[in-house]
Amino acid sequence: MKTETVDAGRLETWTIDEVADAYDKNDIALIDVRTAQEYLLEHIEGALLLPMPFLSPGKLPSQEGKKLVFYCGSGIRSEKVARRCMESGMKNIAHMEGGFGAWKKAGKPYMGTDVSTGAPKRVEGKTA
The tens digit of pLDDT for each residue in 27-52 reads: 999 999 999 999 999 999 999 999 99
Extended beta strands in 1-113, E state: 2-6, 9-14, 28-32, 48-49, 67-71, 93-96, 110-113
Active site residue 85: no
Domain ranges of the chain: 2-123
State the amino acid at position 16 in one-letter form.
I
pLDDT of residue 62: 66
Select which of 72, 82, 85, 93 is catalytic. 72
Length of the chain: 128
The string over 101-112, giving b where at least 16 C-beta atoms fall within 10 Å of a residue's C-beta and e elsewhere, is ebbbeeebebbe
pLDDT of residue 17: 98
Q: What is the CATH number of domain 2-123?
A: 3.40.250.10
